Structures are given as C-alpha cells and as structure tokens.
Structure 1
Amino acid sequence: MTTLRFSLAPLIVSRPLGRAVFALSAMLCALPLYAADLPVLKVGDQALQTRGILEASGQLKDLPYKIEWFNFPAAQPLGEALNAGAVDVGGLGDAPLVFALAAGARVRAVAATRSNPQDLAIVVSEHSPLHDTASLKGKRIATTRGSIGHYLALAALKKAGIAPGDVNFVFLAPADAKAALASGSVDAWSVWDPYTALAEARDHDRLIANGVGLSEGLSYQVATERAIADKRVQLADFLRRVAIGQRWALSHPDEVAAMQSRVTGLPTDVLKTVYQRGQVHPVAIDDSVVAAQQRTADTYEAANVIRAHLDVRASFDRSFPLP
C-alpha cells in the first residue's frame, strides 16, 4: 500500500479561500494511491484531527476501499464542500451543522461524539484589559460565521446579559482572526482547539470564557444523502474505525499528538493538550442528542444567525450502529 504525501504548513498560518472548490484544491493534504478498482470515500477533516487519530490507532490499515482526505481550517468550508457533494462525509460541530442545514445542505448526522467544552474559548491578548464576558460589551469579537466559536460567543453574551447587537462581530477564518487579535484589530477571538491551545501556549493569550455550561459539546460525522445511499458499506466501516480510534485516543494522547504533529507541523505539546482536555468520545445518537441539537438550533434562530425555524429531527440518520 503506497501513499503519496504532500508537505503541509501548520494550519494556523493557512489563509482562507472563500469557496469550497478552491478550499478543496488548496488544502488537500494527501491522496492515498491504491488499486484503481477500489471504491473511493471522500472524507473532509478539520486540522487533520480525524486522520491523526485513525493513523495513530492503526485504523487505516487494510482498508477495503480508498480514502481521499480533504483538509479544512474550519467547519464552514467543510460544510460548503458537503453541500456541494465534493466530499462524502466529514466532521462538523453541532453549531456548524445547524448552519449547513439552514443553508439547504442535503446531509445527515450519522455518528456523534461528546467532548469537554473546555476546548472552546474566548481568547484575548496577554495584556488586554478585558477579563470576563461582561467586559466584551461594545468590543470587536472575531470568529468564523456559523462555527462553534460563533455559538460560544452568542451563548456567553446571553449569559452575561449582553445582546448580540451590543458587540461587533468580525467574521474571519482562524488564520486571519489570529492575526487580527495579535494586531489589535479585534479585542477578542472566539475559537476552538487546536487554535485555542496554540494561542495559550505560543502567544500567551488569555482565556476569559470557555464552553463549560454553555456548549453541548457535541460533534458529528456528517454524510451526504447520496453517500448514505450509494456508499453505505464504506461509510459504515469508516464510522466504525473512527469510533474505535476515538476510544483508543482517550488513553493514548501522547501517540495521537506525536502522529498529528508529524502530519500538521503543529507542536506536540499543544496537540497533547487538545486531546487531554477534549476527552472526545463516541456516543449513540439518541433522543438526548437530538434534543441538545435542537437547543443549539434554537439559539442560532434567536440570534438571527439562521432566518427560519429548523426542526433538527430530520437531520439525523440513526441506522449506523455505534460499535
């Protein structure tokens, strides 16, 4: 089995490309080369986290199909790629899934995970005068529109009694948001790991809020309706391997961090922090998950991030059992 690899600069410095087709071509991280007659599953990833876990846990061995990996710096371009049918399946947080569905994406959540939402945070520069969410009133907050960072900011502001219109949201991809915070163009950045951990460790940025008590901590593997119909066997096998890898990673953060560092160029200590505090683990898609997803959709609706009510029940496919 031969794999053709391309060099990949650290994701934190990659620049966004506005359209999914350009994101796919520019941020493609590797294409495995196998026998030409094997079926192909096109998998979207964010910061190579899924691939890092699968490689470190050995779950990419002896695949009976090809995987083409497409890497994205954030959920929005991955959601666009799913909507366009350019990838078959990919990992999205609960808030980005709502955003994609509201945009008309014909996709379904086919597997779920929960994590410790300490991996979501509102970050300020080391010497910023801001120290809590209440101090954000009238300030500029960078985040990616429709992301879990966007959701965290809205939830944190609501808890502090601040209306969304009382702050100035600046919608940027992670690399540009990081640069804007460093230059003082924005006052805060609402973001997720590995960007949060990297900001803490390398830039000594401070966290003034995190997702504990605010975020449901849910993320999903999301597949297109076409892939569910046409690639069910490959999709089921992939989801099984992801769940096994995620369970393995819980007790092997060093190995996962080392593997992902080799693939992404991000520091091993930063990635170890990501896995240790995230505690990502697979969960069954049950009524409690659906209810939590509805709360996320309702929060976006109340903040006018999505324009119409979204009933999330139809956005789940429970036919893929949790191994």
Structure 2
Amino acid sequence: MIDRRQFQLFAASLVFGGAAVTSAARADGKAFRIAFQKGAGNLIFLKERGILERKLSPLGWSVTWTEFQAGPQLLEALNVGAADFGLVGEAPPIFAQAANANIVYAGYEPASPKNEAIIVPKDSTIATVKDLTGKRVALNKGSNVNYLLVRALEANGLEYGDITPAYLAPADARAAFERGAVDAWVIWDPYYAAAELSLGAKKIVDGTDLAPNVSFYMASRPIAEQNSAVLKAVLAAVDEIDVWIRDNRKQYATELAPKVGLPVEVIERSVNRAEPGARPIDAATLEGQQKIADAFAKLKLIPKSVNVTDAAWKVGQ
C-alpha cells in the first residue's frame, strides 16, 4: 500500500524508467509517435514493414518509434507529451488515470489470459498460490500482472499483505529471479516464455479464470481529440498486421525473433497463447476494466477511485 504522496512520486518517476524521451516539440509538427514494448510484436512488425508509414503519408504524417520496458513507463511518456500511442496491459491505464494522466482508451486486443503467469524457479518447493504466503514476489508495479497477483491471492483466501511484493521492471526482476533474490515472479510474455524455456521456470497459475489480460491501445488525449482520422488509420493498420499474424504464427515467430533478440521458440510460444486482433474500444470491455479499477481502489493500490469511461475515446471529436 502507498499513500497519495508516494503514489505521485512514483507516477512522476515512471518516465525515467523507459527510453530516453523528452516532451520537446515534434521535429516536423506532424510526426505520429508510437511507444512500444518488446512484447508488442505486432507493433514491431508494423514498424519493420512500413505499413503505418504508407497509411499515414497521404494524411501528411510521418511516424517515429520508441521502445519502453513496460506499460507504466510508456503511459507516462504519453502523459507528458513525449509519445502519442502505445499498447499496454490492463493495469497501467488505471494507475495512470488515478494520477490524472491525459490519455484515452482507443482500442484493445482480445483477452489472452495464458500470456501472463506467476512462475517459480524450477527447483522451488512452491507449488500453489497459497504457498506464496510470506514469500517475496517480483512484479512490475502498475502493470497488467499486478491484477493477476491480486486476483490469484484473493481466489486462494490470501490478502495482498500476505506476500512481500518486490516491484521490479522485467529485466531487473529476471535477474533477481535467477539469483534467488525473489521466490516468485509475476510476468507476461515474451519474458514468461523466455523464463520457461531458458530457466526451466514453473508456472503455478496463469490468468485463466482469474484475469482476462486484455491489452489496450492508449492514445494521448490531444492526439485523439484533434486527429481522429489519423488515430483511426493507425488502428486499421494494427488490425491489418494482426490478421496476418493470426494466420501466419510460425512465420511471424521466425521473422520476429532476430529483430527482438529472442529465440524463435520463445516468440512462437508467446504468440500461440495470444489472440491477435485490434478492435475499437467498447462498453463491455470498459466494464471489465472498471472491475479491475474498483479492485485496485479497494486495496488502496491507487489513491482514488476512477471511472474508466471518463478516459474512453469519443470517436469523431
């Protein structure tokens, strides 16, 4: 649990955990700035194939790309005006909205609960969620897996205070996991698949029947309200590449692996657990997101309650 001042300090510091970006003005005034994570293979493919550049060029826009370690850092870049659009998990937008971030929900990818899990080292005696009592659990604060941990504990009669969270970005969490500095790690793909295949990590539970793991396309509010046609074109381009990935998963894994420096097997395992397909934001998806926001508010993981529909993109503005 953190108090309001601690939360504000945390939120303000997130941008420094990502790529080195600034809120300086765009070079040409018409550059659409995409923030992406290593796990967002569809956006990486979009970048490599130049699809978005071809779609936005007739509208007079160029495209720039910046990589971030995780969702919270990515959203802070959107909030401070250093990026326009990015893909994150369920929790980061809620933490960001609670910190008054100037962002909107623009679209989403279908639920992929098997793409996130609580894992333990291969020789660990921890076999169930209940065994996590009193244990040190690594996770990226405010990321999608924050909700998975909350739900897993709740479903097994435990409270958040029954474990000791170690808030670490994926690279630091992996290092801590390898050297035994934490007992478990709550993580998403491709980091999850990589830990399984290279470290022999064992899953004790994934998001199935606990956390849907919906990914959201978030946009800065100014870009959404002032450049609706551009944002629609971006989402159409994302869906185009998603359809190709869905129908060519093996080829996708083979082509993406060298671009992100991961084994083909890691990418293939990750994409086979996913359900690609960009969709416009809708009321039913926001309703599910509200349940997560309410759970975080109840646990005081965020400093105030939020209404997620306040951050929904009003298409056509």
Query: TM-score scaled to structure 2, two decimals?
Result: 0.87
Residue identity matched to 2:125: P
Name 1:211's counterpart in structure 2: 207
Q: State the one-letter code of the partner of 1:20.
A: V
> Would you say 1:66 and 2:57 are equivalent positions?
no
Secondary structure of the corresponding residue to residue 191 of structure 1: strand
Distance 1:165 1:37 in 2: 50
| Equivalence for 1:152 | 148
Residue 308 to residue 22, structure 1, CA distance change in 2 (3 Å) = closer
| Residue of structure 2 aligned with 1:143, choices 136, 139, 142 | 139
Which position in structure 1 is the counterpart of 2:112?
116
How far 1:211 moved relative to its partner?
0.4
Match of 1:12 in 2: none
Aligned residue identity for 1:280: P
CA contact (8 A) 1:57 1:245 kept: no
Distance 1:267 1:60 in 2: 26
- Asked if structure 2 preserves the Cα contact closer than 8 Å seen for 1:44 and 1:87, the reply is yes
Give me the identity figure in percent: 30
TM-score, normalization by structure 1: 0.86
2:245 to 246, 249, 259: 249
Which of 169, 175, 189 is the aligned partner of 1:193? 189
**Do 1:285 and 1:318's aligned partners in 2 also have CA atoms closer than 8 Å?**
no
Segments of 5+ residues of structure 1 without an aligned counterpart are 1-17, 27-35
1:53 is aligned to 45
Map 1:1-323; keep pairs closer than 5 Å: 19-20=14-15, 23-25=18-20, 39-47=30-38, 48-55=40-47, 59-60=51-52, 62-63=54-55, 64=57, 65-319=61-315
> In structure 2, how many angstroms separate the alpha carbons of the residues matched to 1:75 and 1:55?
19
How much has 1:21 moved relative to structure 2? Answer: 5.1
**Could you tell me how far apart the structure 2 residues matched to 1:267 and 1:191 are?**
18
Which amino acid in structure 2 is aligned with residue 69 of structure 1? W
In the TM superposition, residue 228 of structure 1 has moved relative to its aligned partner by 1.3
> How many Å apart are 1:136 and its aligned residue?
0.5
Deviation for aligned residue 1:174: 0.5
> Cα deviation per residue 1:95-115 (whole Å; 9 max; x = unaligned)?
111111111101100111113
Deviations 1:254-293 (Å, cap 9, x if unpaired)? 2322332222111111111111111232334222111101
Instruction: Confirm or deny: 8 A CA contact 1:124 1:206 kept in the other structure.
Output: yes
CA deviations on 1:224-274 (whole Å, 9 max, x unpaired) are: 111113333322211110012112211111232233222211111111111
Q: Distance in 2 between matches of 1:87 and 1:38?
A: 13
1:217/1:280 CA distance change after superposition, 3 Å: farther
Deviates more, 1:198-207 or 1:257-266: 257-266
Q: Equivalents in 2 of 1:94, 1:269: separation in Å?
A: 26
Q: How far apart are the structure 2 equivalents of 1:164 and 1:303?
A: 8
CA RMSD of aligned residues (A): 1.9
Which letter maps to 1:53?
A: F
Change (3 A) 1:22 1:294: closer
Partners of 1:24 and 1:72 lie apart in 2 by 5
1:170 Cα offset (Å): 0.6
Q: Is the 8 A contact 2:52 2:234 kept in 1?
A: no
**For residue 218 of structure 2, what is the amino acid of its counterpart?**
V
Residue 57 of structure 1, CA deviation: 6.7
Once the two structures are TM-superposed, the CA of residue 144 in structure 1 deviates from its matched residue by: 0.6
Query: 2:7 — aligned with what?
Result: none
Q: Which amino acid aligns with 1:25?
A: A
Q: Deviations over 1:174-225 (max 9, x none)?
A: 0111111111111000010111000001111000010011112311111111
